[in-house]
Amino acid sequence: MGKSLLFLYPRTRIMANIGAKKKKARKIVGLTYDIKPDYILKDSDPEDANAEFDHPDTIEVIKDAIESGGHKVVKIGNVRNLLRRIKKLDVDIVFNIAEGLSGRNRESEVPVILEMEGIPFVGADGLSLGLTLDKVMAKKVLMSEGVPTPSFFQVSDAGKVDGTGADFPLIVKPRQEGSSKGISDKSIVKNRKDLIRQAEWVIRTYKQPALVESFITGSEFTVPVIGNGKDAEALPVVQISINGKTNLGDLCYTFSRIHSNTLCYVCPSRITRALEKKLKDVALKAYNAVECRDFGRVDIRVDKRGNPYVLEINPLPSLSTEDVFMVVARYMKISYNSIINRIIDCALERYGML
Ligand SMILES: Nc1ncnc2c1ncn2[C@@H]1O[C@H](COP(=O)(O)OP(=O)(O)OP(=O)(O)O)[C@@H](O)[C@H]1O
Ligand SMILES: [Mg+2]
């Protein structure tokens, strides 16, 4: 992804923890993941079907990072490999970044198996992962916890869309996808005809209901979080810039823009301290509302009046070196390896294994 802007960042708890001289817990860390070459696209698949899966290089970078913390890494791979090896698996903990294979519970597949076998793992459990991949379910929880999120409705049958009284513009997305799958400039609809067309396309292409949300015109941010419960810490807020603009208006983060150089992460964000604080507070509230663990990322859109709306929570955000955690590490002047090891330490601490 595009370039980031780098500035000095004041010392935070994360940095203090990284700097702390502790006797290191050396562990055998299993690594579960899904890589693009393991998934052969079928003719019936949409072009972005394997978008969530990692590039093999990312797995090597994470492996090296874990080893730099003094641990030994056992590469496991996807859920099928895990099932094959589970009875003979000799690991202390698993670092799970597997996206899973099918359905709205796919991200929960690996965590549930590990939980069943009593193997500790880094990151959210199956319940939080299933809940957040399904954006409709996640929004219901956010709303009940008083976390602002765009108003929405769901379309399961495009033929039955009424649309009268709808407050356009709206955005039409697949209900249970990530990595901007199914999101293009056509997703923003301004009338009933386009709403029906786009909902019909989402339902047919992704074989799931369409989530229709109020479109928030304004700016966009993503907030990486590390830690647990009241000790969870929001890292510096990252702003999304498209075509050199941070005032995005009607522009949005689409699948095709990810693969172009029009999209850029800006850190530090060009915002007031008051807005930065508001965004961090709302991110932590969302993170804890769905009981994320160890690490996560909260995507937020801010309207013209400065009101934040949580679009989604990613308990399994990309750890690719082109993504947000790397951008923030550079800005905080800490290494990618220390971020990865801080995440592992959060999990070890949670299990009383540190
Ligand atoms: N209600 C909304 N108002 C404005 N823009 C939106 C809205 N919902 C989604 N978007 C735009 O579409 C992008 C992708 O949406 P969203 O984060 O819900 O999908 P995703 O596929 O889970 O994303 P990710 O790529 O972060 O995994 C957002 O980053 C944002 O630019
Ligand atoms: Mg998102």
**Of the bound ligands, which one is closest to the alpha carbon of residue 257?**
1
**215 in ligand 1 pocket by Cβ < 6 Å?**
yes
Distance from C-alpha of 179 to C-alpha of 45, rounded to nearest angstrom: 16
As a whole number of angstroms, the distance between CA 251 and CA 195 comes to 18
Q: Which residues face 265 on adjacent strands?
A: 240
Of 299, 300, 303, 322, the one to substitute when testing ligand 1's pocket (max ligand atoms within 8 A of C-beta) is: 299
Residue with tokens 């801010």: 302
Q: Is 70 left (phi over 0), alpha (psi -120 to 50) or beta?
A: left
Whether residues 17 and 130 share a domain: the answer is yes
How far apart, in whole angstroms, are the C-alpha atoms of residue 79 and residue 81?
5
Residues 112 and 234 in one domain: yes
Half-sphere exposure of residue 245: CA atoms within 13 angstroms, side-chain side: 10
pLDDT score of 198 more than 70: yes
Verify that 133 and 260 share a domain, yes or no. yes
Whether 1 maps to a domain, the answer reads no
Please enumerate in sequence order all residues whose Cβ is within 8 A of that of 268, keeping only pairs 6 or more positions apart, or say none: 5, 7, 9, 236, 237, 331
Has residue 215 got a pLDDT over 60? Answer: yes
Which helix (H) or strand (E) segment holds residue 277: the answer is helix 273-289
Mutate to test the pocket of ligand 1, among 311, 314, 316 (most ligand atoms within 8 A of CB): 311
Please report which confidence band the pLDDT of residue 8 belongs to, taking 50, 70 and 90 as the band edges.
Answer: very low
Query: Mutate which of 137, 183, 303 to test ligand 1's pocket (most atoms within 8 Å of Cβ)?
Result: 183
Closest CA to 317 of 302, 295, 301: 295
Q: Which ligand is nearest to the CA of 240?
A: 1
Query: Is there an atom of ligand 1 within 6 Å of 170 CB?
Result: no
pLDDT recorded at residue 133: 97
Looking at the structure, tell me whether residues 232 and 302 fall in a common domain: yes
Of 214, 235, 256, which closes a domain? 214
In this prediction, residue 17 has a pLDDT band, given cuts at 50, 70 and 90, of low
- 57 C-alpha to ligand 1 centroid (Å): 26
162: CATH: 3.30.1490.20
Tell me which of 6 and 19 has the higher pLDDT: 19
Domain count of the chain?
2
CB distance 106 to ligand 1 below 6 Å: no
Q: Do 63 and 209 lie in a common domain?
A: no
Cβ atoms 259, 311 nearer than 8 A: no
Rounded Cα–Cα distance for residues 60 and 286 (Å)? 31
Crossing angle of helices 56-68 and 336-350, in 10° steps, is 70
Between these two residues, 46 and 226, which has the higher pLDDT value? Answer: 226
Q: What integer pLDDT is reported at residue 25 of this predicted model? A: 81
pLDDT tier for residue 10 given thresholds of 50, 70 and 90: very low
Range of the domain at 157: 151-214
